[in-house]
Amino acid sequence: MAGMPTGHRRIALLLALLLASLAPLASAAAQPTPAAADHRARVDAFFAALASGRPDTFEAMAREHFTPASLARRTSEERAELLRRLREDVGTMTLEAVRPTGTGVELEISGSTGMRGLGALDFEPGGSRRVDRFGIRVEAGRGEEGPALPPPPVARDSSDAEFDAALTAYLAARASAGEFSGAVLVARAGRATVARAVGDADRATHVANTPATRFNIGSINKSFTQLAVAQLMAAGRLAPTDTIGTLLPDYPNADAHSATIQHLLDHRGGIADIFGPAFAATPKATLRANADYYRLVAPQPLTFARGTNRAYCNGCYVVLGEIIARVTGQSYESYIAEHIFAPARMSRTTFVVPDASPGDMAYGYTTRGGSDPTPRRNSDMVGAGGSAAGGTWSTVADLLAYVEALRAHRLLGKEPSLRLLGRLGHRRLPDTRRRRSGTQRRHPRLGRHGRGGARQSRSAPCRTTR
């Protein structure tokens, strides 16, 4: 994860180990086969369709290159949803390597967001050798991290005791090897069944991580921003078609005025990223709240004209945070605390900055920017506080409370809540606000949060399954 030394990871949470909808990856240890090399055309067609980000292109490819059995395992809507999620997590894709396996090939994909994808294609035996199975796993880009960790030796049908024993042994081995430091929570049917922590929260004082340690959850809290926008739409105070120019008439870059709420939610607004020359030149102690990041990104040129491209956009969410503040008359942080953290009973989630911490927070470390291999605190590489794009401090238990509050519809209506949980596709829902003509406005497409932005410590994706 960004900002961590080679071979060391600080992972704040795992609410599930795999997306249930993805097929397992084929073994990369199998011996190469001539058949795998003979079907590079299918591999090229698969990756081109995947990288296009277009559901119609991917579906056409699947109809040509997948077996009927493979097509039957997922609906076209499920394939489109998988493509959307992958695009949001990984961004623009580059095929780094293709490795033969015993039944097909394994693909290594790097993304513009810093995430990477590991894909596997299994070919049917016999003449046509179409794609019989495919799977994709998304994880953090390797960067400084070293080799990927082996998967935990657990299964979804394990008993609680078996799961606990296997995961505890796995985490102890990873910590002993210097490969993992953090907290893990596993829940079934809303009940925490395993909560474990290993490693140090603070290397200087050797304060150990516990399941109650607060970690910086990075871009997981983009979902808080999405939820706040959906709440304001349900209250009739925002609409997907509202523009930056209307909501923020003093926005300093006129080129951004026509970007809509929907563009910002979908990472199509072209707003400059937080991280860049302006960020590097800004004293990090001055970046303590979303309003500070807004003043940083708003004057910068767009990276592309709104709606003409899609690229992971921290800046888009910073602007959404400012819109939330203007519409409500509260700071972004106070609105989120009052309307999300409090009703979700997330009592240990906070926007507190590290220099005001209560001493129960895990810090990030890095070896970047110098020749000394000794890990050092990465506070000189990040702002003092977080933003609407990322940087809240939370615990594994509070993240479970958040998911359960969404499932119970305590924060929002049923269908948009499910959408935030990643269980529905992109179809729009009518909201309560009507134009004077009487036509209804609509809820935005509430996609899953991404994982951009270097912060004090980094978290794994928050995954939920039933």
Averaged over 106-133, what is the pLDDT?
83
460 vs 179, residue with greater confidence:
179
Task: Give the pLDDT confidence score for residue 457 in this predicted structure.
Answer: 41
150 in a structural domain:
no
Task: Give the pLDDT confidence score for residue 447 in this predicted structure.
Answer: 33
Instruction: Give whichever of 2-6, 170-174, 354-358 has the largest mean pLDDT.
Output: 170-174
DSSP for 110-126 reads EETTSEEEEEEEEEPSS
449 in a structural domain:
no
224 and 345 housed in the same domain = yes
Q: How confident is the model at residue 6 (pLDDT cuts 50, 70, 90)?
A: very low
Q: Would you say the pTM of this structure is higher than 0.75? A: no
457 in a structural domain:
no
- CATH number for the domain that contains residue 377: 3.40.710.10
Residue pair 96/51 in contact by the 8 Å Cβ criterion: no
Cβ partners under 8 Å of residue 196, min gap 6? 167, 168, 171, 183, 184, 211
226 and 357 housed in the same domain = yes
Averaged over 382-404, what is the pLDDT?
91
- Which among 321, 309, 304, 311 is positioned nearest to 244, based on CA atoms? 321
82 in a structural domain:
yes
92 and 171 housed in the same domain = no
Residues β-bridged to residue 95 = 109
80 and 22 housed in the same domain = yes
Task: Give the pLDDT confidence score for residue 384 in this predicted structure.
Answer: 81
State what percent of residues in the chain have pLDDT above 70.
76
Q: How confident is the model at residue 265 (pLDDT cuts 50, 70, 90)?
A: very high
- Which among 43, 63, 61, 55 is positioned nearest to 119, based on CA atoms? 43
360 and 402 housed in the same domain = yes
266 and 400 housed in the same domain = yes
Averaged over 182-190, what is the pLDDT?
89
- Which among 344, 314, 333, 285 is positioned nearest to 219, based on CA atoms? 314
Residue pair 460/12 in contact by the 8 Å Cβ criterion: yes
- Helix ranges restricted to H, 115-237: 160-176, 222-234
Averaged over 430-435, what is the pLDDT?
29
Q: Which domain holds residue 191?
A: 160-213
208 and 231 housed in the same domain = no
302 and 176 housed in the same domain = no
Task: Give the pLDDT confidence score for residue 309 in this predicted structure.
Answer: 80
180 and 255 housed in the same domain = no
Is pLDDT of 343 > 80?
Answer: yes
447 in a structural domain:
no
Q: How confident is the model at residue 139 (pLDDT cuts 50, 70, 90)?
A: low
Task: Give the pLDDT confidence score for residue 38 in this predicted structure.
Answer: 55
Alpha-carbon gap, residue 68 to 32, rounded angstroms: 26
84 and 113 housed in the same domain = yes
pLDDT in tens, 326-339: 999 999 999 999 99
Q: How far is CA 183 from CA 1, 210, 311, 458, in A?
A: 15, 7, 30, 12
Task: Give the pLDDT confidence score for residue 148 in this predicted structure.
Answer: 61
Q: Per the structure, how many domains does the chain have? A: 3
300 and 388 housed in the same domain = yes
Torsion from C-alpha of 223, 226, 230, 232, nearest 10 degrees: 120
pLDDT in tens, 38-70: 578 899 999 999 999 889 999 999 999 999 988
245 and 359 housed in the same domain = yes
